[in-house]
Each structure stands twice: as C-alpha cells, then as structure tokens.
Structure 1
Amino acid sequence: MSSFDEREKGEEAKFAHDASLRFRAEARRNKHLAHWACAQMGVESADDIANYVAEVIAADMTEAGPADVLRKIKDDFDARGVAIEERTIEAKVAEYDIQARSEVLSEI
C-alpha cells in the first residue's frame, strides 16, 4: 500500500471519528436542552421527560443545525403558555453545546 493510500485511509478514519463525535455531542446537547425545557414547562414524570428527550433528539434530524430544535422547543413553550423568548433558548443551546462537547471529549 502506498503512503498516499495510507494517508487517505487515515483521513477517512479521522473524518468518520469526527462525525461520530459531533453526532454524540449534538445528541447530548439536545438531551440537556430537553431536560431544561421540561423543567420550564413543569414536566416532572420520568417517562414524560424521557419521551420529550426523544422528541427533541428526533426533531434535530429534520435539518442541519439547531434551528429545528429551537423551533420545536419554542412551539412547545408557546403551546403550554411558557413565556420564554427565542434568544433565551438560543443561549441555552449555545451553553449546552459547549457543555456537551466537553463531556463527549472527556469520554474519549
């Protein structure tokens, strides 16, 4: 195998590893965000929280970036009469993104 082939395989492995870390960090961010949103909405049942976490994680599969998650949580807040502005949710996304990346990186 040539050094070019070895380098190419190394780059492919790094890309796959980085993509896996990004996916895990985004899922972890969404989990933290869903727990926060549940607290804001007064959701206390463990089953209801687990279901909401799954809904938020699934919502993130709609489009690239966190806009789909922001929209879901804002819509859910509005439906429950929770008066929290979108910029507050955006700040929580940023906060939990940093936290989740740190947690995922500490696990490797």
Structure 2
Amino acid sequence: MRLLHDRKQALENKFAHEAELDFMADARTNKMLGMWAAKKLAISGDDAEAFASEYVKTGISATPQHCVISKAAKDLKGHVSRSDIKRKFAELAPSAHLETIQVVN
C-alpha cells in the first residue's frame, strides 16, 4: 500500500513540475515575441524590456497564446501581418521551451 502511495505522490510531483516548466516556457515565449515586436517598432533598451513584459502579463490568462498574438497584432498593425506573428510565435516556442528546461535543470 505504501508503494502505491509513494508512486502516486511521485506522479503528482512530476505533473506539478511539468506544469511549472510549461508555464515558465510560455512566459519566455511571450517575452521573446514581445522583444521581437519591440524591435519591429524600433523600441530598444529598458523601453523594450517593459514592452516585452506586457506580453508576459498578457499571457497569464485563460487562452494565453491567443491573447498574446492578438496583442502583437494590435501593436504591430501596419508593420507585420497576423500570420507573420503566428509564424514567429511558433518559431520561438520550441527554443523558449528548450531554454527553460536548460535553465531549470
């Protein structure tokens, strides 16, 4: 019985750890997209960091990817198409996830 309890606890801990990694990777992806958008708008330095931080905050919602892409589309209207933003998001996500795993481990 103890073995079952220990295994259940281990699986719960693994699930919690993976959920935390996913959250961190999503936040990193959102920040990377924000920095990309800032560059497109010729925003640099501390202003770019603050701008990108807004993307991280936007991503903390029920449908984070949709909200972040919508924010980028609004910010970049006339500069970049929505499909280019979606493509860039998809391009950034794998590297953000990999970086997060490397930082945590």
TM-score (norm 2): 0.91
Deviation of 1:106 after TM superposition, in Å, equals: 2.1
Number of residues paired by the alignment? 104
Match of 2:89 in 1: 93
Match of 1:68 in 2: 67
Match of 1:50 in 2: 49
Match of 1:5 in 2: 5
Deviation of 1:65 after TM superposition, in Å, equals: 4.1
Counterpart Cα distance in 2 of 1:3 and 1:61? 37
The runs of 5 or more residues in structure 2 that have no matched partner are none
Counterpart Cα distance in 1 of 2:70 and 2:62? 11
Counterpart Cα distance in 1 of 2:41 and 2:60? 23
Counterpart Cα distance in 2 of 1:75 and 1:37? 11
Counterpart Cα distance in 2 of 1:71 and 1:31? 14
What is the aligned-residue identity percentage?
30
Counterpart Cα distance in 1 of 2:9 and 2:94? 30
Counterpart Cα distance in 1 of 2:33 and 2:3? 44
Match of 1:25 in 2: 25
Would you identify which runs of 4 or more consecutive aligned residues in structure 1 move more than 2 Å?
Answer: 62-65
Letter in 2 for 1:60: G
Counterpart Cα distance in 1 of 2:8 and 2:82? 43
Counterpart Cα distance in 2 of 1:3 and 1:99? 38
Letter in 1 for 2:76: F
Deviation of 1:69 after TM superposition, in Å, equals: 0.1
The runs of 5 or more residues in structure 1 that have no matched partner are none
Deviation of 1:31 after TM superposition, in Å, equals: 1.3
TM-score (norm 1): 0.89
Deviation of 1:42 after TM superposition, in Å, equals: 1.1
